[in-house]
């Protein structure tokens, strides 16, 4: 009997120790709430970092909230409902101009191209932007990056957004694709997965990529209140390192591998559709190689804001961008892990 009890006790003791270790590991993670502007495949590196456990590796217990719009994300950040915001950096400029001393500071950039596409009623193999003259287009919120980049492209092509076409900005973010199927608009500007969904349903055709035609722009970045960055530099560093690992992963893996990895984040989208969307984004060099928000990119953003009539006075790059947490990528090789089992 004693010989039998000894191994059993050993097993129970080992199990208790393992459970204790797991509990201690979980309790040692720092809770961080991230509020994102939208839940989109456009942000694949972030979801890869979540699904591959990179945030846990860096000591972070991440809670992800979909803010559904940069204005709402900034509101959550300023109110303290979110620790970190992920949105177009124009929101941080607007907050700074309003005179808030505890303004939002950008510390890591994720995307370097616009993530939306122009969808038309019919295929246009030889599409030219001048095709939009005299047409009706479903656009985005005034002052938001999607709309401003769209207008930036129009102006680059000699088209006056106010006079040469009709842009409907009355429809809420995320609802334009549904509206396009039932109204009289000629084109709509859509993020994924809506652009691909319209194609697959036979309700539209992608005719142009705003990401390709606008060039490199600092489309989305991570920010936190100035006081949070000063109080928690180690959290900002750990968070940025996890994002860098996500960037490393998507920039070194195939669209099919990335689709499998981030699939749990998009349960209602089939894996093949995710792969198609990832391929589109990889093809246009959407994701940065590092998280550094360069001064040139910030100045380009201000150019776009000025042209859109949203910025009267330029703001200091040094105040609104902190690159101190960017990992050194010159000596690093990507961490390769299998996705967590479902």
- What average pLDDT values come out for the chain (342 residues) when binned by 10 residues? 46 47 62 95 97 97 92 92 94 90 95 94 95 95 84 94 94 87 94 90 95 89 96 96 97 97 94 94 93 92 88 92 69 37 36
Distance of CA 99 to the CA centre of its chain: 26
- Is residue 257 helix, strand or coil? helix
C-alpha torsion sign, points 23, 26, 29, 31: negative
Domains of the chain as residue ranges with CATH: 24-112+217-320 (3.40.190.10), 117-214 (3.40.190.10)
For the entire predicted model, the pTM comes to: 0.81
Predicted pLDDT at 328: 55
End-to-end CA distance of the chain: 41
Q: CA geometry: angle at 63 spanning 282 and 325, to 5°?
A: 65
Tokens of 45: 């590196």
Contact in structure between 297 and 221 (CB atoms under 8 Å): no
């Amino acid at each position: 009997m004693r010989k039998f009890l000894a191994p059993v006790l050993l097993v129970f003791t080992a199990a208790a120790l393992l459970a204790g270790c797991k509990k201690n590991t979980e309790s040692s993670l720092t809770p961080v709430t991230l509020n994102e502007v939208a839940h989109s495949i456009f942000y694949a590196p972030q979801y890869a970092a979540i699904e591959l456990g990179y945030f846990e590796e860096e000591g972070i217990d991440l809670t992800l909230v979909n803010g559904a719009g940069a204005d709402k994300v900034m509101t959550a950040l300023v109110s303290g409902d979110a620790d970190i915001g992920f949105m177009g950096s124009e929101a941080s400029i607007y907050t700074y101009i309003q005179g808030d001393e505890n303004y939002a500071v950008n510390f890591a950039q994720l995307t370097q191209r616009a993530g939306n596409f122009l969808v038309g009623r019919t295929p246009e193999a030889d599409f030219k932007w001048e095709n939009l003259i005299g047409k009706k287009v479903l656009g985005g919120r005034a002052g938001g990056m999607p709309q401003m980049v769209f207008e930036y492209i129009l102006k680059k092509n000699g088209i006056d957004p106010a006079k040469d076409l009709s842009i409907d900005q009355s429809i809420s973010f995320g609802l334009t694709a549904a509206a396009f199927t039932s109204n009289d608009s000629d084109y709509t500007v859509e993020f994924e997965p809506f652009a691909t969904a319209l194609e697959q349903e036979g309700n539209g055709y992608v005719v142009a990529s705003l990401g390709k035609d606008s060039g490199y722009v600092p489309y989305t970045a991570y920010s936190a209140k100035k006081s949070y960055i000063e109080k928690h530099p180690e959290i900002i560093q750990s968070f940025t390192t996890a994002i860098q690992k996500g960037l490393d992963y998507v920039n070194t893996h195939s669209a099919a591998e990335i689709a499998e990895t981030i699939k749990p984040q998009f349960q209602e989208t089939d894996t093949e559709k995710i792969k198609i969307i990832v391929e589109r984004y990889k093809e246009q060099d959407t994701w940065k190689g590092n998280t550094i928000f360069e001064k040139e990119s910030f100045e380009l953003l201000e150019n776009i804001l000025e042209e859109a009539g949203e910025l009267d006075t330029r703001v200091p790059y040094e105040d609104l961008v902190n690159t101190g947490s960017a990992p050194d990528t010159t000596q690093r090789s990507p961490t390769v892990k299998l996705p967590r089992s479902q």
